Amino acid sequence: MKNLIDILDLSTSEIEQLIDTANDIIDNPDNYRKKCRYKKLATLFFEPSTRTRLSFEAAMMELGGNVLGFSEANSSSSAKGESVSDTIAVVGGYADIIAMRHPKEGAPLVASMKSDVPIINAGDGGHNHPTQTLTDLLTIKREMGHLDNLTVGLCGDLKFGRTVHSLIAALSRYSGIKFVLISPKELELPSYVKDAHIKANGIPCEQTTSLDDAMEKLDILYMTRVQRERFFNEEDYLRLKDSYILTPEKLKNAKENMIVMHPLPRVNEISTAVDSDKRASYFRQAKYGKYIRMALILKLLEVE
């Protein structure tokens, strides 16, 4: 049985297969409508989420399966003090596959050690978010046509931004990748991510605090939100939350075929005036999330 806890659980060829399946689902949705009939997906969201949970649920429904679960820890038995291991042991008896989001880092790994059914990490604190990365890779493939030879700018909260960590891990395996890390000093990329992926693979990487300086070099600008829930201290959050705001003005120096991505939700880091720019890919990106999750569910349930 296979789980998806970390994006590196998947080889690049497995990722390519998932992208091919997702593209086929987009082109031929009718072929997939009954693939997961009589199967159940449990969405265990110990932390609030809208799009990840809904896209998992929509994905299972479009495959003809059913969905059960909860959307916040207060409505689950964890509020009564139940351990992750016990919750999983119980839910594994009700569902064929589990998508789990948890505020504690490593919770889905613990779940996978105890579970009899496949576990998908739908986000564990500021650590990993592999299905967002699959979404990002599908978006890059569809919008740019390839996953290699790209200069990728990552902007905003690179410290707690789990989507950024997983994306760096995934893209570091492709040739010709360059990273430009754009963040305030306090929200710089953790050294373990840099060491394990960027340095280990000898990838060119530039670190800057200026989005304007970086803009013209980029093929992809990946914006992130400064997340209130990751701060122990409200003052730090308020000081850093408006560090980078993307406006049409700032995009003037960007390449014509550059794309702007964002895992969403955004607060104010991308002005709504950017939405009509053809380079703004984030809403298409959100839609692709459903298709890649459909492909992932099929793979983990070993449905042909």
85 binds other proteins (CB under 8 A): yes
51: annotated active-site residue: yes
129: annotated active-site residue: yes
89 binds other proteins (CB under 8 A): no
| In the complex, least distance from residue 270 CB atom to other proteins, rounded to whole angstroms | 27
Coil, strand or helix at 152: strand
Measured in degrees and rounded to the nearest 5, phi and psi for residue 156 equal: 115, -125
As given in the structure block, the two tokens for residue 136 are: 């990002």
- Cβ-contact 190, 155 below 8 angstroms: no
**Span near other proteins by CB under 8 A; candidates 20-28, 80-88, 90-98, 293-301:** 80-88
From the list 9, 8, 12, 14, the residue with the least C-alpha distance to 196 is 8
83 binds other proteins (CB under 8 A): yes
Angle between helices 130-144 and 282-300 (to 10 degrees): 120
Q: Would you give the binding string for other proteins spanning residues 177-196, x where CB under 8 A is met?
A: ---------------x--xx
| In the complex, least distance from residue 103 CB atom to other proteins, rounded to whole angstroms | 7
109 binds other proteins (CB under 8 A): yes
209 binds other proteins (CB under 8 A): no
110 binds other proteins (CB under 8 A): yes
Catalytic residue, chosen from 52, 87, 131, 151, is 52
Query: Binders of other proteins among 249-288, rule CB under 8 A?
Result: none
As given in the structure block, the two tokens for residue 266 are: 């955004």
CB-based burial of residue 98 (10 Å sphere; 0-12 exposed, 13-18 middle, 19+ buried)?
A: buried
From the list 115, 118, 67, the residue with the least C-alpha distance to 89 is 115
Binding site for other proteins (CB under 8 A): 83-85, 102-107, 109-110, 113, 124-127, 192, 195-196
